Amino acid sequence: MSLNFSGPKLKTPSVQTLGVLLFGLQSFWSASLVSAADCTPAGSGELAIVDRVYDGDTLKLQDGRHVRILGINTPEVDHGKEKTGQALGEEARMATDAFFKKDAQVRLFYDVQRVDRYERTLAHAYNAKGESLAAYLLRLGLGFHVAVPPNLALNQCLQSQEQIGRQKHLGVWRDPAWRALPAAELTLGHTGFKRIVGRVSSVRVAQSVWLELDGPLVIKIAPGDLANFSRTDWQNWKGRQVEVRGWVTERGGDEESTNKRKKSTAKRSFKSLIVQPRIASNLELL
């Protein structure tokens, strides 16, 4: 960042003038650093009032809207039959509740897509101090940085905030329940958001990139997401160990697996689970 001061040049400012100037510069840089640390987008956003905190990354507003916070996925809270609780889910919910406790006002900033398929509002959320909820939780290790295209405006900034919690081994980076699961130990019951580590047993590059691991899991990078990955040497990943994070589901909707299912006998020859990382930081070579 460069500063461009206009106006007449000062020849020999007094000590007092220098002090004021230095204080102003220090304040400017401090404000810039705070803004950068909290991943603040441009614009004024939209003000709303928080009615209650549903879980770490979901708010209910007084106007009835449910807001899914962009850039982060926090552990699930136990909502009875609807969802099973996960380790640190309650801690993430309490942290979000405390984040808005003194002032229930929230400022929402939107990205490209404003509503998801569940009709939830998608937004970045900030408290009355201008602090980012996602950045705050990521620094505490109370969630994972996850970006879903096309909402990538704060992708790099939030990734850097996650690294703070990760380097300090906080929250999900320390809790045994959130360790990366070996792909070879996965079963059909291992669905939902997971961290998984495994060795790439085969690579297929077509319209999508398919990385099969040494377990019942295949990693798919869809054509529309390939631009978010700088790598093109996918064939060289064979035999390499990787860590992937994302929502694991049972495979069965794509044409390839359908054809294989028709040809398979009692022992299936295709991978039973699938995960689709959308950004490069969710798929790492180890």
Distance CA 79, CA 150 (A): 29
Nearest to 260 by CA among 252, 270, 250: 270
Are both 71 and 160 inside the same structural domain? Answer: yes
Are both 93 and 209 inside the same structural domain? Answer: no
pLDDT classification of 138: cutoffs 50, 70, 90: very high
The predicted structure's pLDDT at residue 283: 97
Q: What is the CATH number of the domain that holds 231?
A: 2.40.50.140
At which of 173, 191, 207 does a domain end? 173
The predicted structure's pLDDT at residue 12: 39
The predicted structure's pLDDT at residue 88: 97
Region 30-58: mean pLDDT is: 79
pLDDT tens column, 198-243: 999 999 999 999 999 999 999 999 999 999 998 889 999 999 999 9
The predicted structure's pLDDT at residue 37: 58
pLDDT tens column, 154-194: 999 999 999 999 999 999 999 999 999 999 999 988 999 99
Give percent above pLDDT 90 in the chain: 72
Select the highest-mean-pLDDT range: 206-220, 248-262, 264-278: 206-220
Are both 198 and 124 inside the same structural domain? Answer: no
CA 146 to chain centre: 2
Residues of the domain holding 249: 180-285
Nearest to 271 by CA among 282, 257, 283: 257
Are both 239 and 258 inside the same structural domain? Answer: yes
Q: What is the CATH number of the domain that holds 56?
A: 2.40.50.90
pLDDT tens column, 65-108: 999 999 999 999 987 666 678 999 999 999 999 999 888 999 99
The verdict on residue 149 lying in a domain is: yes
Q: Work out how many domains the chain is built from and give that number.
A: 2
pLDDT classification of 271: cutoffs 50, 70, 90: low
Are both 64 and 167 inside the same structural domain? Answer: yes
At which of 118, 150, 173 does a domain end? 173
pLDDT classification of 26: cutoffs 50, 70, 90: very low
DSSP string over 17-54: HHHHHHHHHHHHHHHHHHHHHTTPPSS--EEEEEEEEE
pLDDT of 17 over the 70 cut: no
pLDDT of 244 over the 80 cut: yes
pLDDT of 24 over the 90 cut: no
The predicted structure's pLDDT at residue 251: 87
The predicted structure's pLDDT at residue 103: 85
Instruction: State the average pLDDT for the chain.
Output: 84
The verdict on residue 102 lying in a domain is: yes
The predicted structure's pLDDT at residue 94: 97
The predicted structure's pLDDT at residue 68: 98
Q: How many CA atoms lie within 13 A of 147 on its CB side?
A: 22
Report the chain's terminal Cα–Cα distance, integer Å: 34
At which of 147, 173, 199 does a domain end? 173
pLDDT of 116 over the 70 cut: yes
